[in-house]
Amino acid sequence: METGFLRVLFEPGRFFEARMQDRPSLKIPALIAVVMGLIGAVSVIPMTDLTMAMLPAEMQGLGVIMTIIFAAFAFAGGFLAWIIYGFVFHLVSMIFKGQGDLERTMEFTGYGLLPQVFGGIIGTYFSYRLLSGLNVPPMTNPEQIAEFSENLVSVLATDPLAQIAGLVTILFTIWSANIWIFGMKYARNLSTRDAVLTVGIPVGLYILYMLITLAGWL
């Protein structure tokens, strides 16, 4: 099955094996991170609408600025996740005496983020569904805004849609982890067992954290 870099989704072993024949390139991984960032930026729009509705009319300008800041952070979040995952995998693989440069690790980690693009799209849909159902009462002072924010957290925490979004995120993270295992196996020249541990330990901890959070919601 020759479908370009999308092949990494279903044949990560063969894809990374083939990629090892070429020089490391971060273009496509960076593109994936950009798409992730854009999706993240889009996903904050409903929340930004909510924030704008909370603010008094004279503070709408501040709302615009906050929207831009939120979107920028969300966009950067895609790159941040790529960098953090890549460094963590590189460091953990050192424990197993992994060999290979960081650039290759970053390249393969970036490819592994591809499933999370789909997860981001679905998560954004759920976020939109979740937040569009909210009606925001008019507020005139910071105390009311703070109270509303607390209540909003309580509402969102108990909503089934939020739990579904969390489960979707976990599922796509597992898919990414599977790709990363193959990626680390070739990028860091690890045995399958060591690659599983390299990826499984940090990702497993992350998923555990998410599950605990979800259980707290339940």
Partner 1 sequence: MKPLNILIISLLCAAIAFIAPASAAPADVTVISSSLDPTVLMKGDTGTLTVVVQNNGADPVAIRNARLYGSGVVPLSDPYPSVGELGAGNSKTFTFTVRADGGEGTFYPQFVLDFRDAGSLRYPIPVQVENTPLSASVIAKPDAFAESRTADITVRVGNPRPNAASGVQVIPQGSGFTVTPTGGFIGALAPDASGMVTFNLTPAAETDVTFQVVWRNGINTHTADLVLPVAFGEDKKQADPVITNVEVTPIAGGYRIVGDVMNAGLESARSVLVTPGSPATPIDPFRVYVVGTLDPDDISSFEVTFKADAGVEEIPVIVEYRDDDGNRYTATTPVGLGGTTAAPLEEPEDGGFPVAGLLVVVLIALGVAGAIYYSWKRT
**Residue 134 contacts partner 1 per CB under 8 A:** yes
**Residue 121 contacts partner 1 per CB under 8 A:** no
**Residue 9 contacts partner 1 per CB under 8 A:** yes
- From the list 25-33, 40-48, 77-85, 143-151, the region that binds partner 1 by CB under 8 A is 143-151
- From the list 28-36, 59-67, 99-107, 152-160, the region that binds partner 1 by CB under 8 A is 152-160
CA-based torsion, 101, 102, 106, 112: positive or negative: positive
Query: Shortest distance, CB of residue 192 to partner 1, whole angstroms?
Result: 9
Options 26, 66, 117, 152; binder of partner 1; rule CB under 8 A: 152
Options 59, 64, 174, 212; binder of partner 1; rule CB under 8 A: 174
Closer to partner 1 at the Cβ: 27 or 215? 215
Tokens of 86: 């890549």
Query: In terms of Cα–Cα distance, which of 85, 172, 178 is closest to 124?
Result: 172
CA-based torsion, 75, 69, 47, 203: positive or negative: positive
Angle of CA points 34, 28, 85, to nearest 5°: 65
Q: How far is CA 147 from CA 4, 46, 139, 150, in A?
A: 50, 19, 10, 5
Query: In terms of Cα–Cα distance, which of 15, 22, 4 is closest to 180?
Result: 15
**Residue 186 contacts partner 1 per CB under 8 A:** no
**Residue 189 contacts partner 1 per CB under 8 A:** no
**Residue 175 contacts partner 1 per CB under 8 A:** yes
Alpha-carbon distance 184 to 77, whole Å? 22
Q: How far is CA 187 from the centre of its chain?
A: 22
Question: Given the rule CB under 8 A, which residues bind partner 1?
Answer: 9-14, 115, 122, 126, 130, 133-137, 139, 144-145, 147-148, 151-152, 154-155, 158-161, 164, 167-168, 171-172, 174-175, 178-179, 182
